[in-house]
Copies of this chain bind each other. A is one copy, B any other.
Amino acid sequence: MNYKNTWPALLAISLATSLQADEGQWQPHQLTQLQPALIQRGIEIPASQLADLNQYPLNAMVSLGYCSASFVSPDGLVITNHHCGYGAIQQNSSAENNLIELGFLAQTREQELPAGPQERFYVTEQVLDVTREIRQAQRSDLSPAALFDATELTRKQLISQCEQAANSRCNVVSFHHGLQFFLIKQLMIQDVRLVYAPAGSVGNFGGDTDNYEYPRHTGDYTFLRAYVGKDGKPAPFSKDNVPYKPKSYLKVNAAGVQAGDGIILAGYPGQTSRYRLAEEIRFAQQWQYPQAIATYRQMIDTIELFGQQDPALQVRYAAVVKGYHNRMKKMQGLLAGFNATDVPALKERQQAALTDWLSASTQRKSMLQSVDELAAVVKQEQQFLQQTWYFENAKRGDLFKAALDLYKLAKQNELPDAQREVGFQQRDLKMWQGRLQRLDTSFDATVDLTLWSQQLANYLRQPAAERFSALDQALQLSAAMSESAIAAQLKPWYSKTELHTAEGRLAWLGKKPADFAKSSDPFIRAAVAVYPIAAQLDQQQKTIQGLLLQKRPAFMQAVIAYNQSQGKPVYPDANSTLRVTYGHVDGYPAADGVYKTPFTSVRGMIAKRQANGEFALPDELVTAYQANQYGSYFRKTLGGQPALPFNSVPVNFLSSADTTGGNSGSAVMNGRGELVGLNFDSTFESISKDWYFNPAVTRAIHVDIRFVLWMMQEVDGAEHLLKEMTLVQPSQH
């Protein structure tokens, strides 16, 4: 491996000079280097405090695993987005008592509802650099696949040791794509309860239509609460559990912010691709995203057609379709953003500048080959993706997929726990149980057969050389078969299986591969027959991942050195770990002649209102508006240019903070670390920030805390929760 281990020191040095825009999803420890930039943005809280996991406000930050959140009371009250609390709300809903639609407010602690067995709160307590440990395992004589395995084995060992501590959830995460590794230790709270959710028409106002759009008027907030055993330690749900006492909780600033104010945003951004090769963005633009969009489009259209004929199916697949829509719209936004400013060409110019810079010095010339070597591996990875695309999609039948997963679990179970693949270990069993159980809520045999047959038809349209004979034989497919012929062929399978019930699926957990081999269930038999292909592809994938583990860190060294030479910020791509970003409340020029102003109002929400559908609103909200019941949340102006009259209660606002998926529910704080909003989305023009941060137009969309407080006080009657929180009321703007 051709890179040195001296980069962390160099990283630290670079930060002080990188006073650029508001780009950067910073690791907390990096913040100490950013004091001048924070001051410039009006952040009063000292950088050293902000960098400390054990101090306010970072010790009040919470992860839901898939979303961000924060403690807002001494009794473990947690605020996050409505769309992050969706599972907890759905879990407690029925046709007769649909809390998604009606909203929910527990008037007492006793009324607070279990959020479901899958819901967890995670609090990051420790972040340790374990690069040295990983590096020791990555011996240079190993084959790429062996290198991948060795890395994984060390990761699992470190995780296992860390999780000896009671109630800890640990992970070893790669930063800068294998250049550094950190062990993240989190406190895991298992008893999560639903406290308060506004009506769905508020929490999801605008629905899919407004998703990723601005102007936006969505009250995307929900309150949960952490419960622990009477000993104060995390415990599974029990009636006897008591509210958790967090180390700290965010103060809430009821006066909110105005245009230009500095803000801090902390949370768990999922994944960005800011340091990819130009070849990778071109591949995403020209092949990957268009392919995925077409697939989502076909699945959405099919499910919606069923939904039009049968409203029950519409309800059953609502969350699935919402997810597909969200991912599709994100990819459409990425493509639109790529085109709007030709990001791929910009990345190509950046890469050319990098190689020019490397070529210009004899010292640096040796790093040039890292670019070519990575490009060669990336090419391999892309070919692999293209070759397996239709095969992977051919597994999109839910029951077939369940059978494949169950058989792989059985095969993995034959290995010692430490040698199993990440995601297939003992610690993952609960996740699998939940997943196999939950399928019931979004499954219909006819819809599943149709979706599966469509994808199989797409697969069959590929040349014989790109198909897999084991799959063809297992499903008795032949090239000439139409989609309807495939459906006719597979339809009988659905009456000969037990996998369509939760019990039927869960019954296979813990069984041996030999039990699978003996089964007469057609899905199980097909899974056993297809497994060798899947295993072989897993192995190919490992080789590619091993190669990337070798080649990408060297490239990252070159990129980091170059960026530092240019005075550009250097922070790792997002990887679902705790990050802090800062910025300011600001509008943006959305198009030639169009400027989006930073605040939206209840008046604008009312103006969008329709009698039914995505833009309906609860009568209580409309009544409070019509009666001018604004509490102390009415603002005549909110600053900014042009200085327009505002004259309403703010609902959403924009900031220049650097966010991505996973940042949903993140606390947006003012310069004193007081809660002023909740992050919940980005503008459509911002989506391409995952690849390239354009400070002129990149804006995150936040729920204004004044809207939340107004709803609690004037609309939903949640004063008891307001009392529990610490509301700061400085002089209003």
Contacts and interface: CB of A to CB of B under 8 A. Distances in A.
Interface in A461-513: none
Contacts of A591: 215, 604, 607
Contacts of A604: 591-593
Interface in A635-692: 640-644, 652
A603 B592 CA distance: 8
A81 interface: no
A215 B594 contact: yes
Given A641-B642, A642-B587, A642-B641, A592 B596 contact: no
Contacts of A601: 592
Contacts of A640: 642
A640 B600 CA distance: 21
A593 B589 contact: no
Contacts of A7: none
A214 B593 contact: yes
B595 A600 contact: no
A597 B603 contact: no
A216 interface: yes
Interface string A595-623: 11101110111010000000000000000
A493 to B, nearest CB: 46
Given A641-B643, A642-B641, A595 B592 contact: no
B592 A600 contact: yes
Interface residues of A, number: 28
A683 to B, nearest CB: 10
Interface string A214-250: 1111000000000000000000000000000000000
Report which residue of A591, A592, A594 has the largest number of chain B beta carbons within 10 angstroms of its beta carbon: A592
Contact of A593 (B215, B593, B641): B215
Contact of A592 (B215, B590, B592, B593): B215
Contacts of A593: 214-216, 596-597, 599-600, 604, 652
A214 B214 CA distance: 18
Contacts of A599: 593
Report which residue of A593, A595, A603, A643 has the largest number of chain B beta carbons within 10 angstroms of its beta carbon: A593
Interface string A337-355: 0001000000000000000
Contacts of A590: 594
Nearest to A608: B592
B592 A607 contact: yes
Interface string A359-372: 00000000000000
A594 B592 contact: no
A340 B608 CA distance: 10
Contacts of A652: 593
A596 B597 contact: no
Contacts of A595: 587, 594-597, 642, 644
Contacts of A587: 595, 642
Interface in A557-611: 587, 589-597, 599-601, 603-605, 607
A600 B591 CA distance: 9
Contacts of A589: 597, 642, 644
A214 B640 CA distance: 22
A589 B642 CA distance: 9
Interface in A362-419: none
A194 B671 CA distance: 64
Nearest to A589: B644
A593 B652 CA distance: 9
A619 B599 CA distance: 41
A721 to B, nearest CB: 28
Nearest to A642: B641
A587 B592 CA distance: 12
Contacts of A596: 593-595
Given A214-B593, A592-B601, A593-B599, 18 more contacts: A215-B592, A215-B593, A215-B594, A587-B595, A589-B642, A591-B604, A591-B607, A592-B600, A592-B603, A593-B596, A593-B600, A593-B604, A593-B652, A594-B594, A594-B595, A594-B596, A594-B597, A640-B642
Q: Which 5 A-B pairs have the closest CB atoms?
A: A592-B604, A215-B593, A641-B641, A641-B642, A593-B600
29 contacts: A214-B593, A215-B592, A215-B593, A215-B594, A217-B592, A340-B607, A587-B642, A589-B597, A589-B642, A589-B644, A592-B600, A592-B603, A592-B604, A592-B607, A593-B596, A593-B597, A593-B599, A593-B600, A593-B604, A594-B594, A594-B596, A594-B597, A595-B595, A595-B642, A595-B644, A641-B641, A641-B642, A641-B643, A642-B642
